[in-house]
A and B are shown apart, each in its own frame.
Chain A
Amino acid sequence: MSVLAAETRPKDASTSRVLDVQGLDVRLGRFHLLHDVTFSIDRGERVGLIGESGSGKSLTSLALLGLLPDDAHVSGSIRLAGVGHDLVGARERDLAAIRGRDVAMVFQEPMTALNPTMRVGDQVAEVITIHAGRGGRDKRAARARAVELLDQVGLPDPGDAARAYPHQLSGGQRQRVVVAIALANDPSLLVCDEPTTALDVTVQARVLDLIVRGVSARDAALLFITHDLSVVATVCERVLVMYGGRVVEAGPVTEVFRRPRHRYTQGLLAASDLDSAAAGGRLPTIRGTVPSAGTFPDGCVFRSRCDHATEVCATEPAWAGPDPGNGFACHHPAGAERAS
């Protein structure tokens, strides 16, 4: 059992908010891919972002790291604790200084996320030296620290592993290396984009465990992006449900998954709840197919597939809830009819 020792850096203690995203809007060419995305994450909080293809969940993660394509039009604001400026519209140099230090990311595909021609240890050490500043660029120290990190993420023989090339490691081991890179500088925010989708169930379990313990030890904020509801439920405390480039529902995991309000969330939960359906019997479904990115209907993005849609759904539903982190945007929310 490895304890991920975090070298806690003095952070702005006045507020526990790590990430604050306000009205994030992304357009690429004629496609409007993200609409008014607003959410925030506090220190030590683990937030899940659920969405199917085209929902804009990966785009959101890239926006957080300032890695959107050059020709994307971004508006809104992304503030990160400890960073004095808005990430939206920031210069590439400033963003580069933040990436890997204040915010780090774990991507989906461990097989291709590492440079095939560079030793694993060097790839870990690199992220340390990049952000070490002029004084701290001691290669040897960085390498030693890299081995230490590889040990912490549970690679057997971390010394040997550091000298290995990526192709010599299995998928799960590679993803551990990626996690080690992400955690190397004790970021205040870790973004994971489908980090275990490509992995086997048993490997997934260990990587999830690793991520959760890694962020807990650092008291870091986690944004965990996935399409798998049960993974979110297992890992996160709070959840954001995205569909068609919007956040359609948000709240504590137990709340949202027990009592979904948005019709999409409701349908999604029903369709994926194989446990409660009769074996071999029919499953509840959402009709139609997920439109491709940027081609969702206006008004309520879900209305083209929603059984409850009426004319009013052609207008954009307002956010119903106490704050952006709690509530939903639906004209005909579930639970309402029960109440009525």
Chain B
Amino acid sequence: MSADLTPRPAGPLDGPTPATAEATLPPDEMPPTASPSGARRRPGASFFVGLGLVGLVVLMALVSFVWTPHDPTFVDASARLRPIGDPDYPLGTDKLGRDVLSQILVGARTTLFVGLVAVGVAGLVGVPLGIVAAMAPRRAGEPLMRGIDLLLAFPALLLAIMFSAVYGGSTLVAMVAIGIASVPSFVRLVRSGSLQVLSTEYVLAARAAGRGPWAIGVHHVLPNVSGLVIVQASVSFAIAVLAEAALSFLGFGTPPPTPSWGRMLQESQELLFAAPRLAIVPGIAIALAVLGFNLLGDGLRDHYDPRMEDRR
């Protein structure tokens, strides 16, 4: 699967797909909505659809803290395999008699946790490294980048499997691995963004004003690459959610009894014919969450217009 874990290299690939800029139109002739950089575009439909889907996941997670219809881990032999629409169990129960709706609600927490850990690791490591790699002199920056490139040689799934084997299978371990595997894309993206920022005259002006490298990194570079980072974070989030599902399928994902959509999907397999709903419900949940984060990323990309080189 794979697909889900294929690293998405940063750089031109993740390039923006602005909806309004037109190749042939000279920038100074463009109407103001589409023009000045730094100006944020009005977000498009994909942003709102994505926001809605992500909001739904967050809402489910929040609701699960205060209320679930049943204890999601409570095993009830008398209530096994109830169908969808059962008065007590709106989304039915699984083979252990656990309420599917409750598991989906609590599973949303796992999904968010998964994404936050992976994106958190990747971001916390990748963003500073990217800025440092851009600001450091060539002699230091180049080896750093080569080291980061080396990480690319360890695909996410491989890293997750090895980490799980070494540190025991847990969501945290698997997602730290996924996060580490995503570090290179963050570093590359942030570095190229930072290099653009550093080549601007406002950085030169800040230096002339007496700002040290630290202050420039924090006050100029970081805010100006944040748009890129948010977009990348959103995409990485989606990748992490897919990765968790794939790892759960292989038995390296979230261990029981913590409810997780990926494991629900994996557990549902043997009952695919008897109770396809058990696969369909978490399957849809995963797909919608991934879709949500991807769309949000696309929307934000348009919104932030990260083509800094467009600035004239």
Q: Which residues of A contact B (CB under 8 A)?
A: 28-31, 33, 53-54, 56-59, 62, 67-69, 108, 193, 292-295
Decide: B31 and A29 in contact? CB cutoff 8 A. yes
Decide: B24 and A68 in contact? CB cutoff 8 A. yes
Decide: A54 and B29 in contact? CB cutoff 8 A. yes
Residues of B within 8 A of A33 (CB): 29, 31
Decide: A28 and B26 in contact? CB cutoff 8 A. no
Instruction: Name the CB-closest residue of A to B22.
Output: A69
Decide: A295 and B29 in contact? CB cutoff 8 A. no
Interface residues of B, CB < 8 Å — how many?
Answer: 11
Decide: A28 and B24 in contact? CB cutoff 8 A. no
Decide: A294 and B32 in contact? CB cutoff 8 A. yes
What sequence of 0s and 1s flags, for each residue 16-57 of chain B, a beta carbon within 8 Å of any chain A beta carbon? 000000101110111111010000000000000000000000
Apart from A28-B31, A68-B24, list 12 A-B contacts with CB within 8 A.
A28-B25, A30-B31, A33-B31, A54-B28, A56-B29, A62-B25, A62-B26, A67-B24, A69-B22, A69-B24, A69-B25, A293-B30
Decide: B25 and A31 in contact? CB cutoff 8 A. no
Q: In the docked arrangement, what's the CA distance between A57 and B30, Å?
A: 12
Q: In the docked arrangement, what's the CA distance between A31 and B22, Å?
A: 15
Decide: A58 and B26 in contact? CB cutoff 8 A. yes
Residues of B within 8 A of A57 (CB): 29
Residues of A within 8 A of B30 (CB): 293
Q: In the docked arrangement, what's the CA distance between A3 and B62, Å?
A: 78
Q: In the docked arrangement, what's the CA distance between A54 and B35, Å?
A: 11
Decide: A292 and B25 in contact? CB cutoff 8 A. no
What sequence of 0s and 1s flags, for each residue 204-221 of chain B, a beta carbon within 8 Å of any chain A beta carbon? 000000000000000000
What sequence of 0s and 1s flags, for each residue 290-301 of chain B, a beta carbon within 8 Å of any chain A beta carbon? 000000000000
Out of A30, A67, A293, name the residue touching B29 (CB < 8 Å): A293
Shortest Cβ distance from residue B258 to the other chain A in the assembled complex, whole angstroms: 51
Q: In the docked arrangement, what's the CA distance between A108 and B24, Å?
A: 12
Instruction: Name the CB-closest residue of B to A26.
Output: B29
Residues of B within 8 A of A68 (CB): 24-25
Decide: A293 and B22 in contact? CB cutoff 8 A. no
Residues of A within 8 A of B22 (CB): 69
Q: In the docked arrangement, what's the CA distance between A53 and B31, Å?
A: 11
Q: In the docked arrangement, what's the CA distance between A58 and B22, Å?
A: 14
Instruction: Name the CB-closest residue of B to A290.
Output: B28
Instruction: Name the CB-closest residue of A to B21.
Output: A69
Decide: A31 and B24 in contact? CB cutoff 8 A. no
- 22 contacts across the A-B interface (CB closer than 8 A): A29-B31, A29-B33, A33-B31, A53-B28, A53-B29, A54-B28, A57-B29, A58-B26, A58-B28, A68-B24, A68-B25, A69-B24, A292-B31, A292-B35, A293-B28, A293-B29, A293-B30, A293-B32, A293-B35, A294-B31, A294-B32, A295-B32
Shortest Cβ distance from residue B229 to the other chain A in the assembled complex, whole angstroms: 28
Q: In the docked arrangement, what's the CA distance between A54 and B31, Å?
A: 9
Q: In the docked arrangement, what's the CA distance between A143 and B104, Å?
A: 67
Q: In the docked arrangement, what's the CA distance between A232 and B35, Å?
A: 27
Shortest Cβ distance from residue B19 to the other chain A in the assembled complex, whole angstroms: 11
Q: In the docked arrangement, what's the CA distance between A307 and B83, Å?
A: 80
Residues of B within 8 A of A29 (CB): 31, 33
Residue among B29, B30, B31, B33 with the highest chain A CB neighbour number at 10 A: B29
